[in-house]
């Protein structure tokens, strides 16, 4: 029986590739338009080829030439975790994010040409809920017309081994089974920040602005003097900007009178709850509940990677903000592993 193999479209730093590999899937290649991701991807996924392609400008036949794929391969998985800025509620500049709007259609061209046995899609929930969005509906129609069964839902990754309240749209599809369902998640009360961060988990206390020149990258962003005062005035273990909203020196003018909005910005994580969604700006104290539960700083690069379930020996390349983007955009490897394990079980039934 052939092993499963995969092509990871929009692979980024390789979270999906790494997780699928851990499940036992042979990931032949990762494809991404960002050449800056190549070094990180290749350092950690040595058996997978990195193709620096813009899929909007690439014909499917080129993948056949590059990787020697066959059409109608029941053992082939196509993974499409396209950049999601357009559909994300976090992003407000839809013009700058418009490139990402129809990437699913370009992915569909490759699926249509090769007809792989399995398909995995991961994206933000907004791709499903957006009014007048025909991109996903058209993809469903395409799958139905081409003999694919599919199942999709917005899942909480905390039920799939990830210590975050990260909600994501996930779809699995197959033309090899009459019916396919998403893997079922399982509640695990151990998936909280306390069990991943802190000195007993390898994270020595550091100040804001600390630079770690080792591969561990326990590096934290610097804070302005005012933000240092703000985080020092924020209660440990889950405090918010409400702690200093009445202090005229510390109050952020744009949030004045908006106590019921943007409640998590300038906040600290809770020790005994899952982390919030690790975004591309998780290294910034002012961009969410990314303050360390106890120390006066935002969480470090490696702490963000740990909460994304990257192993501690996963090597990242780039400047601070580039690495934060690579980590925040990634599919958590543990989620990818569980999806890969599920598909392997279905194939071998």
| Non-local CB neighbours of 128 within 8 Å, separated by 6+ positions | 136, 152, 154, 169
pTM across the whole model: 0.93
Task: Map out the domains of the chain as residue ranges.
Answer: 5-185+332-347
Over 50: is that where the pLDDT of 1 sits?
Answer: no
> Which residues does the annotation mark as catalytic?
84
Do 185 and 265 form a contact (C-beta atoms < 8 A)?
no
Q: DSSP label at 188?
A: -
Record: fold of 5-185+332-347: Rossmann fold (3.40.50)
Give the three-class secondary structure for 193.
helix
Percent of the chain with pLDDT over 70: 93
Distance CA 126, CA 279 (A): 15
Over 80: is that where the pLDDT of 333 sits?
Answer: yes
Encode pLDDT of 53-101 as tens digits: 999 999 999 999 999 999 999 999 999 988 755 444 554 444 444 455 5
Report the candidate in 239, 233, 294 with the shortest Cα–Cα distance to residue 265: 239
The helix-helix angle for 15-23 and 333-347 (nearest 10°) equals 40
| Non-local CB neighbours of 321 within 8 Å, separated by 6+ positions | 283
Over 90: is that where the pLDDT of 191 sits?
Answer: yes
Report the candidate in 94, 77, 75 with the shortest Cα–Cα distance to residue 85: 94
Sequence length of the chain is 349
| Non-local CB neighbours of 201 within 8 Å, separated by 6+ positions | 195, 306
| Non-local CB neighbours of 295 within 8 Å, separated by 6+ positions | 205, 206, 207
Quick one: pLDDT at residue 94? Answer: 45
């Amino acid at each position: 029986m052939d092993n499963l193999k995969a092509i990871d479209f929009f692979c980024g730093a390789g979270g999906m590739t790494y997780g699928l590999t851990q499940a036992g899937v042979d990931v032949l290649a990762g494809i991404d338009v960002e050449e800056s991701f190549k070094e990180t991807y290749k350092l950690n996924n040595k058996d997978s080829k990195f193709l620096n392609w813009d899929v909007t400008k690439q014909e499917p036949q080129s993948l056949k030439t590059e990787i020697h794929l066959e059409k109608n391969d029941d053992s082939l998985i196509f993974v499409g975790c396209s950049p999601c800025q357009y559909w994300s509620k976090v992003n407000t500049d839809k013009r700058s994010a418009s490139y990402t709007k129809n990437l699913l259609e370009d992915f569909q061209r490759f699926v249509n040409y090769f007809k792989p046995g399995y398909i995995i899609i991961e994206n933000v929930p907004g791709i499903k809920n957006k009014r007048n969005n025909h991109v996903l509906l058209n993809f469903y129609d395409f799958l139905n017309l081409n003999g694919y069964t599919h199942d999709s839902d917005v899942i909480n990754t905390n039920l799939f081994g990830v210590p975050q309240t990260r909600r994501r749209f996930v779809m699995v599809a197959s033309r090899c089974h009459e019916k396919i369902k998403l893997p079922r998640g399982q509640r695990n009360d151990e998936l909280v920040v306390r069990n991943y961060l802190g000195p007993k988990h390898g994270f020595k206390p550091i100040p804001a602005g600390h630079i770690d020149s080792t591969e561990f990258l326990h590096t934290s962003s610097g804070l302005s003097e005012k933000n240092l005062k703000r985080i020092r005035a924020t209660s440990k273990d889950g405090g918010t900007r409400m702690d200093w909203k009445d202090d005229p020196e510390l109050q952020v003018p744009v949030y004045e009178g908006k106590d019921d909005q943007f409640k998590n910005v300038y906040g600290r994580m809770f020790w005994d709850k899952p982390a919030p969604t690790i975004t591309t700006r998780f290294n910034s104290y002012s961009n969410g509940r990314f303050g360390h539960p106890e120390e006066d700083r935002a969480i470090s690069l490696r702490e963000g990677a740990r909460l994304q379930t990257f192993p501690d020996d996963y090597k990242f390349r780039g400047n601070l903000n580039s690495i934060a983007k690579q980590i925040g955009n990634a599919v958590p490897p543990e989620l990818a592993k569980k999806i890969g394990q599920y598909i392997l079980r279905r194939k071998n039934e």
